Structure formats: C-alpha cells, structure tokens
Amino acid sequence: MTTYLAAEANPTHNTGAIRLYDAAAFAAMRHVCQLTARCLDSLVPMIQPGVTTDAIDRAVTEFALANGAVSATLNYRGYTKSVCTSINHVVCHGIPNDKPLRDGDIVNIDVTLIVDGFHGDASRMYLVGNVKRAAERLCEVTYRSLLLGIEEVKPGKHVGDIGAAIQAYAEGERCSVVRDFCGHGVGKLFHDAPNILHYGRYGEGAEMRPGMIFTIEPMINLGRPHVKLLGDGWTAVTRDRSLSAQYEHTVGVTENGVEVFTRSPGGFETPGLSLDLSA
Ligand code: MF3
Ligand code: CO
Ligand code: CO
C-alpha cells in the first residue's frame, strides 16, 4: 500500500510515505535545481584531457560557496567530496582524486546542491577529447532513455511505467539497465520514497500524484548489467568492465504532466553529443 503525505509533515526522515509538495516548495525546487544545472553548465569548458577529478570537486565546492548553496554529498554517510565523478566503467559514486582525465574518457558528473533545505540533484555525461563511437552511442542511448522515462511522468500513471519505458528502449538498443541503483524521491530529503526503478513493467509501483518530486537517473551499460563495489565502499563498477553511462534529472509531477527542474539553462544537456532529438 502506498501512503502519501503533505510534505510539510514529518520532514526529517524517509518513512516510506510519498511526500506531496505545494506550490511554494515547487518554487524552491525550481531555484535549487536551476542552480545545480548552472553548476553542471559551468564545468563544460574545464572537462578536458589532463584535468583531475579533484579539480572538478574544487570547482563544485567553490560554485556552491559563491552561490549560497552547500553540496549534499559532502559528509553524506561518510562521503567526503562535493561531487561524484564516474569514469568509463564506473557506474556511479566515483570519488574525485588526483588522477587526470584522459583523451577518450567519458565521465559522469553528479551534483546535488542544497538551498533553503531543498535538494537539486542532476548529472550528465561529459566527453573528454575524442571519444570512440561506441562510447558516444552509449551516452546517446542513455540520454534518450532518460527522456523516455520523463515522458511517462503524469498523474494517474505508475512510477513503474518510467522504468518499463527505459528498459524497453535501452535493451532494444542492445544495452543493459543497472538494477542495483535507482532514482528516488527528493526535496527536503536527499534520498526519499519512492524508489524510481529504471526497469520493470507498466502498471507497477506507486501511482503518480501532483506534488511528487523525484529523480530519474538511469545507469545504462554497453555490456552486462551487473555491478560490483570497490574496496572504498562507494565506487560501483561494471563487473565485466564494460562502459556505463548515466544522466539524471530532478522532476516534479504537475496537474497535467511533468516539470523538469534541472534542465540546462545554457543548452548543455548533453555536452559533447550532437543529438537529433527529432530522430
Ligand atoms: N547524487 C547521487 C544520486 O543521484 C547520490 C550521491 S551520494 C554520494 O542520488 F554520497 F555518493 F555522493
Ligand atoms: Co539522485
Ligand atoms: Co545525483
């Protein structure tokens, strides 16, 4: 059974109930999510061969400071950086370090900022120098799968419809969907109910209602879907070392459909990709 509650109630932990946010909260989410998207936009020029992921982490820390925000990942469950940087076969939660990016890498940069207690969570793939066609195609499939997931968001539909649409498309493109991580309710909490699976069947999961806010963040692999966790307790990699990609948006359910809060203000939704979305 699904429980829904007004988001003003019980804000401190994930009780499994789905929060429904009011218009003021939607306005606050618009603000923090646009800041998060602007942060991701600001990184575009620096993502070049030779730059370290620590330098990206510093840039995000400084962006947050300069804009009256804090990073939600800093000191989150023992995580010590402002950003996750997941390169090539790293699926998610890659930890910034002093190693430089290399020509041909694909890197997911995932930023969550907090302003006035509201969380904006978004990530994109960045292409480093000249990337192989297979890697580029994986990024394209992953972004298109996110868009197809977003298209399912509407009151009366089920959260499982999102995963069903993503899985059908990604597997049709001979890619696989990671099962071990999912999207999540977000807003006053970083990770809240409901879980948003990126696979499954139509009609499964909670019914969507206006006021729900959650992320959609499919992780798509060129090879098999299985992941393993490295010894640092965070870094998730593909077991078969195949390439993995991810894009993430924070979205809200409106009376008629969906509002995408984390759209790139600068037109950098898919930096480095030339996507024809009419195709
Ligand atoms: N931003 C990630 C997400 O999309 C979570 C990162 S938690 C961290 O949910 F601790 F690894 F940073
Ligand atoms: Co997220
Ligand atoms: Co994220």
Ligand 1 centroid to residue 47 C-alpha, Å: 20
The protein residue whose alpha carbon is closest to atom 12 in ligand 1 is: 73
Percent of the chain topping pLDDT 90: 92
Tell me: the pLDDT tens digits for 206-262? 999 999 999 999 999 999 999 999 999 999 999 999 999 999 999 999 999 999 999
DSSP secondary structure code for residue 46 in this structure: G
User: pLDDT at position 91, please?
Assistant: 99
User: pLDDT at position 144, please?
Assistant: 98
DSSP 3-39: -EEETTSSTTS--SPEEE--HHHHHHHHHHHHHHHHH
Ligand 1 centroid to residue 58 C-alpha, Å: 17
pLDDT of 1 strictly over 90: no
User: pLDDT at position 56, please?
Assistant: 99
User: pLDDT at position 11, please?
Assistant: 63
- In this prediction the pTM is 0.97
Considering every ligand atom shown, identify the ligand nearest to the alpha carbon of residue 213 and give its number: 2
pLDDT of 8 strictly over 90: no
Q: Structural domains in the chain?
A: 19-260 (3.90.230.10)
Tell me: the pLDDT tens digits for 150-179? 999 999 999 999 999 999 999 999 999 999
User: pLDDT at position 22, please?
Assistant: 98
Ligand 3 centroid to residue 235 C-alpha, Å: 14
Query: Residue 167: enclosing H or E segment and its boundaries?
Result: helix 159-172
Per the listing, tokens 């510093």 go with: 58
Q: Which of 182, 190, 251 to mutate to test the pocket of ligand 1 (most atoms within 8 A of CB)?
A: 190
Tell me: the pLDDT tens digits for 82-117? 999 999 999 999 999 999 999 999 999 999 999 999
The protein residue whose alpha carbon is closest to atom 8 in ligand 1 is: 73
Tell me: the pLDDT tens digits for 27-70? 999 999 999 999 999 999 999 999 999 999 999 999 999 999 99
How high is the mean pLDDT of the chain?
97
Question: Which atom of ligand 1 is closest in space to residue 248's alpha carbon?
Answer: 4
User: pLDDT at position 275, please?
Assistant: 84
Ligand 3 centroid to residue 140 C-alpha, Å: 19
Question: Which atom of ligand 1 is closest in space to residue 73's alpha carbon?
Answer: 12
